[in-house]
Amino acid sequence: MVGQSDVLGLLMGRREGFSLAQPFYLDPHVFKLDLELIWYREWLFVGHGCELPKPGNYITVQIGAYPVILVRDRAGQIRAFHNACRHRGSRICSAATGASARLVCPYHQWTYDLDGRLIFARQMADDFDMAAFSLKAVACEEMGGYLFVCLADQPPDFSAFRALAEPYLAPHRLHDAKVAHESTIVEKGNWKLVWENNRECYHCAGSHPELCRTFSEAPTVTGVEAAETDPVITAHWNRCEAVGLPSRFHLDPDGQFRTTRVPLLGEAQSYTTSGRPAVGKRLSDNVAADGVGALLLYHYPTTWNHVLSDHAVTFRVLPLSATETAVTTKWLVHRDAVEGLNYDLGELTHVWTQTNDQDRRIVEENAIGIASPAYEPGPYSPVTESGVIQFVDWYAGLLASRLADCGATGLRSVA
């Protein structure tokens, strides 16, 4: 197991354009550093506002050591709280989703209103102050139909991401959508391997026959360089912007998030084996049915997204351990779309269900190879893996900066 100073030394001495040293993919201490210095400090995608349509609807999520609940209150606002009773700490809501007029701890029935206030605690002392024991709040932001939380006491500024992403998402009206299907798979590999695999299509032709029917593997589509020099992409941007859809490639100066709109292959309109729309009812009348391709949205460390005219596919990454990662995929359709009438669930989900399982196998084989004593960092392709290089640079730079800032004793929960 490596120590904190060892991790900083590996980061400072890493070879640019090469994969990371073995401990970054396997070591439990590095994993704890990832949680403490990145996952517990950054904004994290957790779900969609449409999953909480009415007051009392809630969703729960486990982020490292922290169970969190998001609930719509009586005024219609979505709030997030630590999912732990202020009495003796029991988890209040264990289901992934639900609806309740109050949040009631199952252990001793302490009861909280939807705004987090403690409103009932039986058989306590006469001078017990219920106002002092509200649920602990978690920072929460809703943007373009997406819900983000941040566990930090002082969350970073969310406004730059909102300013970039919201104009791209707004025409799709995902707040008027619903989740048609959801799946979670556990990949036996480090969360960074999941992201590295996602950030390139070098592997796509040999691994994703279903996806490659409609999604281009061109580096200008999948990477972070030279999109503005690709005449196919620039022509697509011009067509989309002519009908009011922001489309051009934008990358956050710090490298954490980016967005662009890309064309699908040929005449394809959706991620189906035929290329035809999977859903007969569009997500929004603001987005024309033909030729808009896919809106790609990425935000490290939790989410990548494909938003089309007929549906959206959203992905959430959550680390479980140094060698396990949960990937949750949600397929969103218009809230009035009816299964069996407007869409066939199998057709809607087939491409990405297959692609997810193929990626799971890729990540797991990658992890097995990295665990070998013979492993050493290898070179990325600057032609087809610019997205991987960009992700690894973001990760390594952020972790090194925070390790240097915190010193030897500045972490809350990492020895």
**How do the domains of the chain map onto residue ranges?**
44-150, 160-370
Answer yes or no: is pLDDT of 413 > 50. Answer: no
pLDDT at 412: 52
State which fold the 160-370 domain adopts. Naphthalene 1,2-dioxygenase Alpha Subunit; Chain A, domain 1 (3.90.380)
Q: What is the pLDDT of residue 1?
A: 72
Token reading at 274: 């035929």
Sheet containing strand 103-104, strands side by side: 103-104, 111-112, 118-120
As given in the structure block, the two tokens for residue 232 are 């196919």
> How does the average pLDDT of the chain come out, rounded?
95
Same topology between domain 44-150 and domain 160-370: no
* Percentage of the chain exceeding pLDDT 90: 93
Least confident of 220-229, 253-262, 276-285, 385-394: 220-229
CB 363 within 8 A of CB 187: yes
The helix/strand/coil state of 78 is strand
What tokens appear for 33 in the block? 């550093």
> CA 326, CA 142: separation in Å to the nearest integer?
22
DSSP letter (8 states) at residue 6: H
CATH class of the domain defined by 44-150? mainly beta
Query: pLDDT of 205-238, one tens digit each?
Result: 999 999 999 999 999 999 998 899 999 999 999 9
Burial 183-221 (b: 16+ CB within 10 A, else e): eeeebbbbbbbbbbbbbbbbbbeebbebbbbbbbbbbbb
* Buried-state track 6-16, b at ≥16 Cβ within 10 A, e below 16: ebbebbeebee
